Structure 1
Amino acid sequence: MLSLFRFCPLVLVCLVAGAAPLPAPAATASVPTARYWVYLRDKAGMHFEPAQYFSAPARARRLRQHLPAADSTDFPVRPDYVRGVEQASDSVLFVSRWFNAVCCRATPAQVRALRGLPGVMRVEAQTPLVLLPTAKYPAVRMSSPEPLTAAERYLARQQTASLGGQAFQKARLDGHGLRIAIFDVGFNGTDKHPAFQHLFRDKRVVATHDFVRNRESVYGGGSHGTEVLSCIAGRLPDGTPLGLAPQAEFLLARTERMLREVYVEEQDWLAAAEWADRNGADIINSSLGYTNRRYFPEQMNGRSSLVARAAGMAVRKGILVVNAAGNDGDDAEWRTIGTPADGDSVLAVGGIDPDTYLHIEFSSYGPTADRRLKPNVVAFGTVLAATPRGYEQVQGTSFASPLMAGFAACAWQQNRQLTVRQLFEQLQQAGGLYPYFDYAHGYGLPRASVFMSPHQAKIPPQVDFSKKDSLLSVIIRPEAAFLPGFPLPMFTDSVAALTPGEALKAPKLGREAIVGPAPVEAAAAPLPRPTDYLYWHVASAEGVLRRYEVREVRQRVVVQIPLRTLQSGDLVRVWFRGSMLSYLVP
């Protein structure tokens, strides 16, 4: 399993948007320094010309979404304030237009001086650095790829077919006209890999920047970005697409580092987001996440981390942010999503197993710390991707995220007048489970057919509720009580009712209990016998799930819930074969 990459450096090289990097005075050897954010009061007197700063695609994006040509967050930071911070601190590391703030190194005495500067609103300390060595990445030597197996070719087809790729292809939706920024650890070998020849031939990699070394080339460092890009726009030698948006344009940004200095990566993410905004990105794919090396689970609220706030600002600029949910679902110490996937306007993508369409065990669970739904949607967590060695099967929600980013590009191409918030809502509503949801699958695997045929016929309820003998039972209706060649009995030997304690453990049951359906558009791998799944959850009056589970249907009575475990105002929802039925507890 590949975890979300969190690589970091020994030295931060920061880019000031639209300006040359600021000089860094020599460090003070005798007095230790720490990192601080210096937040400034105003941008009074600053002049700004959007037409000179923003690229034509950036200006067009704002116009389409009825956003102003610029606002105060786009204006440059006052240079006199920056000079004051530079003179009073040990070194200036980064200047953010969006947050009107300067990141610097300073001693305790210098911090006191910084707080007294004109224009300084507040000074915030950063957590001490955590430096950890990681694996080194050798130079790329492209070898002749071994012939792909039948199983690998099948997986390559299914990772796009599962999302309705055929419907998008038939409608000639392939990401054309969309600009996607990818933030990652590096794109080792991307410029030489045959999977991307069409991108470089057509000059659709329009800009690159390495925020680790402050240079243009990103074709070094790690190869994770190469794998991620292939899940949006890569191709097999026979032309089979590995992602849904092979005709999109791309901005490639290296924001992750070879040594792990946790907070610096978030600053690089912010710098890359400001750069992507200026260069006209419509979508940011971030297969990255920050968890227990800096934060506690209760801080996954979309507000605590710098990177979550930066993602929220990107959305305000009209950019859809798609982020991997995380790979900690089987980690007993940290099972929840990471940041920036915790942002309320960030589309967090979980993973499912392509063999069974079940929740894949490593995919992180929601909700957020403030009990909001996460993940929002899911896609394959195991894919065939382009790597420096050719093509390989890889795992991680890192790859579910770019599959979803490509899906979003096709959906937006179909209706370019959608605002980013409208697109976000429509992507959720395209989920195969919608309006049902849970904290393993969100709204499920999105379907392209929803965008092609928005007025689809509603499926009548397939289940009924029965309240009897202190139990609330969920019973499959007679007309739905069969699978091809496999009629469902009313009861098998026994029907197990979940106790409150067992129900609360449902998210921990793994792939046997937390599962997802194979969508109609995708031909799932043959199963040994007909299989159907029923989802159910209990939501509080505030809409927070207190329990949820997905059960394999083997009989007509699928679930029996003791009434004593329910509270007044609870809402029991059941999803089965495309329809949902609800029961409000009086």
Structure 2
Amino acid sequence: MKKFLLFLIFIYSTTFFAQQEDAWLFFKDKPNAAAYIANPLTMLTQKAIDRRGNQNITIDETDVPIHQSYINNIKNSLGITVLGKSKWLNALHIQGTQTAINSLKIDFTFVESIYFADKTLNTSNKGTFQKTEAHHLNKFKNTEETFNYGAAESQIKMLKGDFLHTEGLTGKNQIIAVIDAGFPNVNTLAAFKRLRDNNQILGGYNFADRNANFYTRHNHGTNVLSTIGGYLENQFVGTAPDAKFYLFISEIAETETVLEETLWVEAAEMADSLGVDVINTSLGYSTFDNPKHNYSYADMDGKTTFISRGAEIAAHKGILVVNSAGNEGTSSWKYISAPADAASVITVGAVDINGNISSFSSFGPSFDGRIKPEILAQGTASAVINHQNGSIVNYNGTSFSSPIMAGLIACLNDNEGFLLKSAKQQNTNFNAYLKEALYESADRYNNPTAQHGYGIPNFETALYKYIGSTGSVEDRFFENLKIVPNPVINTFKFEGFKESLQDFDIQIFNVLGKVVYQQQKLTKPTLDISTLKKGLYLLRISRNNLQKTFKIIKQ
């Protein structure tokens, strides 16, 4: 850090103390893209490649690193400092004088455009912030299993998250990235001992200081992580207690600068390359220490800010991105901030223990009129682990409603369960199905408001809806086939199918994807499942390339 500061002093002295500006520089191309795409393991882990394949998401040029010679040329330019980069946006975050930055467009033919954080300077060059398909969050305002949730009971049961847990969906096959401001004492506190003992913390990175020490900086991330992965027996349980985690620091709590947007995108890119399934971010941006960099509500369209553009790409890579709405409901700004405005981001507002909206919860819609926030979770008096002594405390903020929600979304998205087994055969990006099921389960879905969005979701209902949305592409062939009765007590039969069922095979899966019943070549239309436990199951009937899936409730 001292060397960095001395370098800045040198730049200031050689430019007669001219004003240093922040800008994003965008490149025209990636000359080695074809070679990288042909060898994806040079860019992505196998886990990331598998996630793409399961959802029919192609590996493309956005996955390719920025051409190194381009970076070197910019770094070697007089008066220019490179502070960050994004392969997704093929861009560098740079600092320098307005003159030095503008000269890059003249000096290098591979530079596509330049966009200054001080938007008044963009009229002096042709660089534009290409749009694609915060007011900051009050810097941290504050296998079948049965759990004693303790202090966390209300925030989990309000969402029917306990139903997912009793069905065995506890996030065990999910990887969650928490992008935040720091994680001090996660490596020592008793509330995270279960994570440590079970090797559920896979790693992380401190982008703020450019080092591998992520158990440092601001405690906000520790508090956030506790609502997802914390565990104190009979006292406290996070919403995804069996998930695995990467911990990334992108926020520099002592300042508010546009560099934090770039660092967030870098963290999201690393999360993607490591195969992360869900990202939680309890951060947001629209005003900065330099008021010339501030965004307006008009910029909250999901397409303008650097961070929102990055968040949108993360979602298109197959990651479920969950972000807090913000705590500005009673301020003059009052609106959501970036990246909560991104169209594909699941934006979460806050309610109290009784389901009443928290007054501080930020309002939507996005500037272009989309419902934001989409859903709500407890954010008033949320149960959280204190970062200093590990005690259970109550904090306020959408900073906590977001991770409470993100953990349950990870449970719903369990990629090794029966949802994947049925949906991946269609080569379908089924995150859209999950979000649709989640929103439709919410209590205000048919009457959304600017602060409530669709309201409080019901994860039991969402699971049923999600299963129903991932049926086979051959559904029309079976459109008249029914299971009667359903729910089932002991036996059921198939009705409404004109063809003989004798050539069809049957498999029944539990919610963890395990086959619990199977029969080849049906000989009669009635099946006995009296030996199965009560619960939710998926039945698949198939013949050659034809198949259909049904959800069954065993009573």
One-letter amino acid of the structure 1 residue matched with residue 169 of structure 2? L
* One of 68, 73, 78 as aligned partner of 1:79: 68
Alignment coverage as a number of residue pairs: 418
Does the 8 Å contact 2:43/2:65 carry over to 1? no
Residue 305 (str. 1) matches residue 296 (str. 2): no
Residue 65 (str. 1) matches residue 60 (str. 2): no
How big is the shift at 1:248? Answer: 0.6
Query: Secondary structure in 2 aligned to 1:183?
Result: strand
Q: Cα deviation per residue 1:540-584 (whole Å; 9 max; x = unaligned)?
A: xxxxxxxxxxxxxxxxxxxxxxxxxxxxxxxxxxxxxxxxxxxxx
Partner of 1:3: none
CA distance in 2, matches of 1:449, 1:432: 13
Partner of 2:103: 113
Where does structure 1 differ by over 6 angstroms across 4 or more consecutive aligned residues?
A: 9-13
Partner of 1:479: none
CA distance in 2, matches of 1:135, 1:73: 32
How big is the shift at 1:341? Answer: 0.5
Does the 8 Å contact 1:127/1:263 carry over to 2? no
How big is the shift at 1:404? Answer: 0.7
CA distance in 1, matches of 2:3, 2:252: 10
Q: For the aligned residues, what is the CA RMSD?
A: 2.8
One-letter amino acid of the structure 2 residue matched with residue 176 of structure 1? K
Relative to 1, partners in 2 of residues 1:24 and 1:64: Cα closer, same or farther, differing over 3 Å?
farther
Partner of 2:348: 349
* One of 459, 468, 473 as aligned partner of 1:448: 459
CA distance in 2, matches of 1:98, 1:25: 31
Relative to 1, partners in 2 of residues 1:183 and 1:104: Cα closer, same or farther, differing over 3 Å?
same
Partner of 2:25: 38
Q: Cα deviation per residue 1:213-253 (whole Å; 9 max; x = unaligned)?
A: 11112111111111111111112242641x22111110100
How big is the shift at 1:114? Answer: 0.3
How big is the shift at 1:387? Answer: 1.3
Q: Cα deviation per residue 1:120-152 (whole Å; 9 max; x = unaligned)?
A: 111121239x9x9x999xxxxxxxxxxxxxxx9
Relative to 1, partners in 2 of residues 1:227 and 1:209: Cα closer, same or farther, differing over 3 Å?
same
Query: Secondary structure in 2 aligned to 1:220?
Result: coil
Partner of 1:365: 363
Query: Secondary structure in 1 aligned to 2:240?
Result: coil
Query: Secondary structure in 2 aligned to 1:186?
Result: coil
How big is the shift at 1:369? Answer: 1.2
One-letter amino acid of the structure 1 residue matched with residue 396 of structure 2? Q
Query: Secondary structure in 2 aligned to 1:60?
Result: helix
Superposition TM-score, scaled by structure 1 size: 0.67
* One of 167, 180, 183 as aligned partner of 1:184: 180
Partner of 1:193: 189
Q: Cα deviation per residue 1:504-529 (whole Å; 9 max; x = unaligned)?
A: xxxxxxxxxxxxxxxxxxxxxxxxxx
How big is the shift at 1:11? Answer: 10
Does the 8 Å contact 2:326/2:398 carry over to 1? yes
CA distance in 2, matches of 1:126, 1:75: 25
Residue 208 (str. 1) matches residue 204 (str. 2): yes
Partner of 1:558: none
One-letter amino acid of the structure 1 residue matched with residue 109 of structure 2? P
One-letter amino acid of the structure 2 residue matched with residue 281 of structure 1? V
Q: Cα deviation per residue 1:158-216 (whole Å; 9 max; x = unaligned)?
A: 11111112211221000111111001110111111111111111111112100011111
CA distance in 1, matches of 2:336, 2:312: 17
Partner of 1:424: 435
Q: Cα deviation per residue 1:239-293 (whole Å; 9 max; x = unaligned)?
A: 641x221111101001111321320110110110111111111111000011333
1:392-407 matches, within 5 Å, as 392-407=393-408
Relative to 1, partners in 2 of residues 1:404 and 1:135: Cα closer, same or farther, differing over 3 Å?
closer
Query: Secondary structure in 2 aligned to 1:167?
Result: helix
Residue 220 (str. 1) matches residue 219 (str. 2): no
What percent of counterpart residues are identical? Answer: 31
Higher helix share: 2
Partner of 1:499: none
Q: Cα deviation per residue 1:372-394 (whole Å; 9 max; x = unaligned)?
A: 11110000012111112322111
Does the 8 Å contact 2:178/2:281 carry over to 1? yes
One-letter amino acid of the structure 2 residue matched with residue 405 of structure 1? A
Query: Secondary structure in 1 aligned to 2:202?
Result: strand
One-letter amino acid of the structure 1 residue matched with residue 301 of structure 2? N
Partner of 1:88: 77
Partner of 1:174: 170
Relative to 1, partners in 2 of residues 1:100 and 1:169: Cα closer, same or farther, differing over 3 Å?
same
Q: Cα deviation per residue 1:417-470 (whole Å; 9 max; x = unaligned)?
A: 4622222222212212223311121111111211443399xxxxxxxxxxxxxx
Partner of 2:411: 410
* One of 92, 106, 115 as aligned partner of 1:124: 115
Query: Secondary structure in 2 aligned to 1:206?
Result: strand
CA distance in 2, matches of 1:12, 1:238: 48
Relative to 1, partners in 2 of residues 1:120 and 1:314: Cα closer, same or farther, differing over 3 Å?
same
Does the 8 Å contact 2:151/2:392 carry over to 1? no
CA distance in 1, matches of 2:437, 2:361: 23
CA distance in 1, matches of 2:295, 2:401: 24
CA distance in 2, matches of 1:274, 1:110: 29
1:530-549 matches, within 5 Å, as none
* One of 287, 290, 293 as aligned partner of 1:292: 287
Does the 8 Å contact 1:26/1:91 carry over to 2? no
1:496-535 matches, within 5 Å, as none
One-letter amino acid of the structure 2 residue matched with residue 184 of structure 1? D
CA distance in 1, matches of 2:302, 2:311: 9
Relative to 1, partners in 2 of residues 1:357 and 1:258: Cα closer, same or farther, differing over 3 Å?
closer
CA distance in 2, matches of 1:349, 1:229: 16
Does the 8 Å contact 1:257/1:265 carry over to 2? yes
One-letter amino acid of the structure 1 residue matched with residue 96 of structure 2? A
Superposition TM-score, scaled by structure 2 size: 0.71
One-letter amino acid of the structure 2 residue matched with residue 361 of structure 1? S
Ranges in structure 2 where 5+ consecutive residues have no aligned partner:
120-133, 141-147, 289-293, 424-428, 468-555
1:471-490 matches, within 5 Å, as none
How big is the shift at 1:403? Answer: 0.8
How big is the shift at 1:25? Answer: 11
Ranges in structure 1 where 5+ consecutive residues have no aligned partner:
1-8, 14-22, 137-151, 457-586
Partner of 2:546: none
Deviates most, 358-367 or 84-93: 84-93
Q: Cα deviation per residue 1:47-84 (whole Å; 9 max; x = unaligned)?
A: 3121232122211110111112x201111212222222
Partner of 1:336: 335
